[in-house]
Structure 1
Amino acid sequence: MRELKAIHELENRLAAAYSPDRSAAEVGVAVRTTHDRFSGSAVRDFVPILVERAVRRELEPEQDPGSATPIGADNATAPADELAMGSGGIDSTERGRAPATGRRGLFVLAGAGVVAAGAAAWAGTRSGSDATRPAAPVAGASLTAVTGIVGSEKIAFFGDSRVADVFAAHGFEVRVNAAGSREIATSIDLTGQAFAFPSSLPAAEKLKREVGVRTQFTPFYSPMAIATFTPIVELLDAAGAVKYDGPVPALDFAAYIDMVQRGVQWDELAGNRTYPVAKNILIGTTDIRTSNSAAMYLAVAGYVVNDHAVVRGAAAERHVLPTLQRLFLAQGYTEGSSTGPFEEYLTAGMGATPMTWIYEAQYVAAAVAGRLRDEMVLLYPSPTVLSRHALVPLAPEGEEIGTLLHTDPDLQALAAEHGFRTGDAARFDEVVTEHDVQVSPDLVDVVDIPAYETLEHLLGGVAGAY
């Protein structure tokens, strides 16, 4: 939490320092995106200092076109190399690849058949600021078709005609297919894809390691939340498992884990006349083998079971694994991506799944679309984690799409209308206010996810128990 506070103070300080040349939203995006590059760093003490150094390099006005550092999300990968590959990027000498050359943020592609032909040549030859900004479209020119794989929760965003119009104004026709974020990183054939857009940094990190890519863009994020119903919240409140620390109630995850470990059923709760069902109290999730949202559930649960500390080391992994396995195996069948469980929540009511693990963005988007019924409410886990949606470019067009998503104000505003939190915090506030969506604008009880290797071990430990 000390690091998050330092990053927040850095964001405010730099916003003041670069005003009025840079907007507060632009500075905020630069700080948060740069901070994301250090998610896999084991040594945390110097992260705020390195973030500030990298962001200042981005935000300083160009002095010389031939020597200036271009402004772009991928430049934020630079300090990660100074932390001994802390960002999780792969050393350019690994896997038989030639050392990377050119500007900071350059990435080299490896793995024949994984990405479109010619991408490696692009990575080795691109240079200068032109590589960080999409080229201006030529009037009357045909659109360049760009294909990508995205987490299912972003399908509605890419299917929005207004989003398509913005891309078209920049000369692109973007076509996407959906898959679970873990699936994107582990088993989807990415041949011919210009980008992959999973729903978290761990999934993006795994993908980058698999294909030999250093660059990523994090244009928006979403806190993890629980879609539930007023009667369920009242039952949990009576059982002492709900907190009211803000405008939206929060599920005390320690109390929830205790009930799961004791095998408490809904019909065993005192005074339960609204949901007297003889089944275990469990949050419904997606399949941990394919979906990122399930990995985020594992991260929160692991933190709580590990005495409210991020899981680190083999001993901690062994300590938390039995409870984590129970949380997933006791559910029975789970779907491969987050869209299915949330659709069931919207259509089937609380009888099927009284609590569904979701991205906050899904709930906000449903409210904007008028799909929520009166008793449907949002419940935040306490603690929660932030799922940062990370685009990994696999071809030059993919990098241009990533840059647009990261910097274009219209796309940022439209992302807010689809429930995502972006650098344009004011637009997100406008959306939830306009549609009377009860969310927590400032989440405080947010914890870090485990380091990449630890998370992989835990995911493998649960998956192996199926």
Structure 2
Amino acid sequence: MKRQLSIGLAVVLLVAVVVLIVRGSGDENATADGKTVVKGVIGSEKVAFFNDKRVIDAFAKHGLTVQVDPAGSRQIATSVDLGKYDFAFPSSAPAAQKIQQDKKITTVYTPFHSPMAIATFDPIVDLLAKQGSVKQAGEYQVLDLAKYLELTAAGTRWDQLPGNTAYPARKNVLLTTTDPRNSNSAAMYLSAVSFVANGNAVVSSPAAEAAVLPAMSKLFLDQGYAQNSTEAPFEDYLSAGMGKSPMVVIYESQFLDRQTRGDGSIQGGRRLLYPSPTVLSKHTLIPLKDHGDQVGKLLTSDPELAKLAAELGFRTNDPKYFRDVVGDRAPADLIDVVEPPSFETLERLLDAIGKQYG
């Protein structure tokens, strides 16, 4: 009996050792159900995409469990410890370029993008159209940023616009943005308005930075308090109506996502405008490890994930997915699109504006 017990114990110990060896030689990211956990740091506007159950299930079909932490694109490029992540997924090309340079990575994936847009209301659009700041551009309407900068430079109030009975508010005509010290959408907005202020050219020199800085600072500082995430002012726009924020800088994807949901939040004369020129927020994934590369490949090649990205408002590499979901609710093509400044130039402008907040 003792001998049998000894043999049995030896067998149990041997099996345990084998299991440990197999586990130790396998994928350290593997979970109990056999899936591989992949960790990424992403721009906050993509949280809804990665948290969507359909997206989770789509990754699971490929044996992946993708876990993400949100952060500002500037933070991802400068202060986030990327060593604990398999991929970084900022919302701007300049931030992605900075990470590539620092990490000496050449492979990137850009599975979808979203132009900067303006969430506003019918009375505001009609008022600015009569004033000459809103114009028709083919199948959609745009806010002429040159005309807009003329209004802001003069400190024009809404109640000073001729014939304004729709919104006679005693505050300046200003687009509501997020805090430029933290948010990528504010940086993309800065890219567009600085282009116009620089004589319709990308700001690319210290002299140009100094020339546009006073006007750019005014656009942000005159707003007063600004929130850190683009989702916050957009929710105010949806819940508080025209009184609080008549024009809010957002990602097009936010507006289209709510329309596609059909939850009733896009009603009451709410309208989507595009700044002219606008800037594309290019969601660029930088693989930091092998599993991150797998996520990048799936996002750019898997039809199910592409369709889900379109349903959440993003413009996909294959425009068919976006068009099938959105239809005529957004223009198929945006013509007046400009590039943002380099990461270094944009950082200097943002830092200079940030220091003026005190």
Contact 2:118 2:274 in 1 (8 A): yes
* Matching of residue 310 in structure 1 with residue 202 in structure 2: yes
| Cα distance in 2 between the residues matched to 1:186 and 1:267 | 42
Q: CA RMSD in A?
A: 1.8
* Matching of residue 462 in structure 1 with residue 353 in structure 2: yes
Q: Deviations over 1:159-207 (max 9, x none)?
A: 1111111100111011112222222222333342211211111121223
Q: Deviations over 1:230-282 (max 9, x none)?
A: 11111111211011122221001000011001000111111111111111111
- Aligned pairs, how many? 326
Contact 1:203 1:292 in 2 (8 A): no
Q: For 1:338-377, what aligned pairs fall within 5 Å after superposition?
A: 338-370=230-262, 371-377=265-271
Q: For 1:259-338, what aligned pairs fall within 5 Å after superposition?
A: 259-338=151-230
Contact 1:260 1:282 in 2 (8 A): yes
Residue from 145, 157, 178 that aligns with 2:70: 178
Q: For 1:204-215, what aligned pairs fall within 5 Å after superposition?
A: 204-215=96-107
Q: Deviations over 1:19-55 (max 9, x none)?
A: xxxxxxxxxxxxxxxxxxxxxxxxxxxxxxxxxxxxx
| Cα distance in 2 between the residues matched to 1:256 and 1:427 | 34
Contact 1:265 1:281 in 2 (8 A): yes
Unaligned 5+ segments in structure 2 are 1-29
Q: Alpha-carbon deviation of 1:379? A: 0.4
* Matching of residue 165 in structure 1 with residue 57 in structure 2: yes
Bigger Rg, structure 1 or 2: 2
Q: For 1:444-455, what aligned pairs fall within 5 Å after superposition?
A: 444-455=335-346
Residue from 295, 309, 317 that aligns with 1:401: 295
SS in 2 for 1:442: coil
Q: Deviations over 1:381-405 (max 9, x none)?
A: 0111111101122222111111111
| Cα distance in 2 between the residues matched to 1:213 and 1:334 | 34
Which amino acid in the other structure matches residue 282 of structure 1? Answer: L
Which amino acid in the other structure matches residue 266 of structure 1? Answer: W
| Cα distance in 2 between the residues matched to 1:270 and 1:232 | 13
Q: For 1:8-407, what aligned pairs fall within 5 Å after superposition?
A: 142-370=34-262, 371-407=265-301
| Cα distance in 2 between the residues matched to 1:204 and 1:401 | 16
| Cα distance in 2 between the residues matched to 1:353 and 1:217 | 35
Contact 1:227 1:357 in 2 (8 A): yes
Contact 1:378 1:438 in 2 (8 A): no
SS in 1 for 2:300: helix
SS in 2 for 1:249: strand
Q: Alpha-carbon deviation of 1:340? A: 1.2
Identity percentage over the alignment? 52
Higher strand residue share: 2
| Cα distance in 2 between the residues matched to 1:177 and 1:313 | 34
Contact 1:223 1:385 in 2 (8 A): yes
Unaligned 5+ segments in structure 1 are 1-137
| Cα distance in 1 between the residues matched to 2:190 and 2:291 | 34
Instruction: After the TM superposition, list the runs of 4 or more consecutive aligned residues in structure 1 that deviate by more than 6 angstroms.
Output: none
SS in 1 for 2:128: helix
Residue from 308, 311, 319 that aligns with 1:417: 311
